[in-house]
Structure 1
Amino acid sequence: MTTSTPTNRRTSRLKFLLVILVFAAPIIAAGLLNLSGWQPSGKAYGEPIVPQRNFDQDHVQIRLADGKTWAWRDAEPRMTLIALTGPDCAAHCIDTLTKMAAARITLNNNMSRLRLLYVGPPPANAASDGMRNYWAIGSDVANSLVAYRPTTPDSVSALLVESDGTALARYPVGFDPSGLRKDLQKVIR
């Protein structure tokens, strides 16, 4: 039988306080960082859409080539990458669209979690380029996306939309398709 001496009790209490401190220190540090205004930031290539906009709640209507309306909320949770083109989509525009479709392919097993939507008049040789194999082609019925559409000829901008219809990020004209690919790999897992 061991007897409890004041030294043993003091040592036990010190060990107990140390265990509490190990668990409390990260919480205290996070609270102090938050109070000081610091927020973690990740490197994203797209620009956040502020204020956020929900295309489903705003009733943004996209009419597909087959006459159906684009469903922002799908049967399964899938994000949507919208390509918006400027006037006269030609070689540079087609090249960017191809790289965007390739970014979807690099998602491998998660590729089905991203839908590609092309909004606007299809390029002249879209059928021969196999664009319809990757993209759903539609038109903006009420011009609700005109603020995001580029005005520069032969250019593309993009929007990344959450599965509930919330627009997350905008990729303006001249965006880096490899940066878009990196963003997609972060958000689609």
Structure 2
Amino acid sequence: MITPTSPSKRTSRLKFLLVILVFAAPFVAAALLNLSGWQPSGKAYGEPIVPQRNFEQEHVQLRLVDGKTWAWRDAEPHMTLIAMAGPNCAARCIDTLTKMAAARITLNNNMARLRLLYVGQPPADAAANGMRNYWAMASDVADSLAAYRPNTPDSVSALLVESDGTALARYPVGFDPSGLRKDLQKVIR
């Protein structure tokens, strides 16, 4: 024998089902969007490196000024911003490098999580303008990064590399340093 439910029990069950629907609706919507092929896209200023490269696994050797080899993996997880200048790095090149170093400073408490590495022939007045205070200087032993190095005189390109050596983004000649700063603030928290 089926007993009829009281109106208060029906109301309680309806409220319970509504609460479940409220919490389940976002998951169902996300699943439907994912199945339809839609993926959210954020605005990044750097170009993704496709196919991805891992400089640690490829044994890309960068030799520092003191003769040591650059360690892609460090004791603490650090991202690396690599700057490569075109021939005859002069005023425009130095200005871009200065803005890149300033972007690191704007990370405030997280600035220690980003290492700055300059690869190539340092500008003639690197010691005079304090560049060595912010940038580690290195040379590309086997010219493994030649594809990313600019050919345009007085220009800079950059690479953002994850702490495991995976190259994430490329910033070609003429990139916006303020866009780089915004990308760094998104990635380094």
Aligned equivalents of 2:6, 2:147: Cα separation in 1: 74
What are the residue-to-residue correspondences of 1:6-155 with 2, within 5 Å?
Answer: 6-155=6-155
Aligned equivalents of 2:149, 2:156: Cα separation in 1: 8
- In the comparison of the two structures, how many residue pairs are matched? 187
Aligned equivalents of 1:7, 1:104: Cα separation in 2: 64
What stretches of structure 1 of length at least 5 have no aligned partner? none
Cα deviation, residue 14, structure 1: 1.2
Aligned equivalents of 1:169, 1:141: Cα separation in 2: 22
Aligned equivalents of 1:5, 1:90: Cα separation in 2: 84
Say which SS state the counterpart of residue 12 (structure 2) adopts: helix
Cα deviation, residue 111, structure 1: 1.0
Say which SS state the counterpart of residue 175 (structure 1) adopts: coil
Aligned equivalents of 1:82, 1:112: Cα separation in 2: 15
Aligned equivalents of 1:32, 1:163: Cα separation in 2: 34
Cα deviation, residue 104, structure 1: 0.6
Q: Could you tell me the TM-score, scaled by structure 2's length?
A: 0.96
What are the residue-to-residue correspondences of 1:161-180 with 2, within 5 Å?
Answer: 161-180=161-180
What stretches of structure 2 of length at least 5 have no aligned partner? none
Say which SS state the counterpart of residue 39 (structure 2) adopts: coil
Aligned equivalents of 2:24, 2:102: Cα separation in 1: 46
Q: Could you tell me the TM-score, scaled by structure 1's length?
A: 0.96
Cα deviation, residue 10, structure 1: 2.0
Residue identity opposite 1:71 in structure 2: A
Cα deviation, residue 9, structure 1: 2.7
Question: Percent of aligned positions with the same letter in both sequences?
Answer: 85
Aligned equivalents of 1:22, 1:185: Cα separation in 2: 34
Aligned equivalents of 1:127, 1:9: Cα separation in 2: 80
Residue identity opposite 1:76 in structure 2: E
Cα deviation, residue 34, structure 1: 0.6
Aligned equivalents of 1:105, 1:8: Cα separation in 2: 62
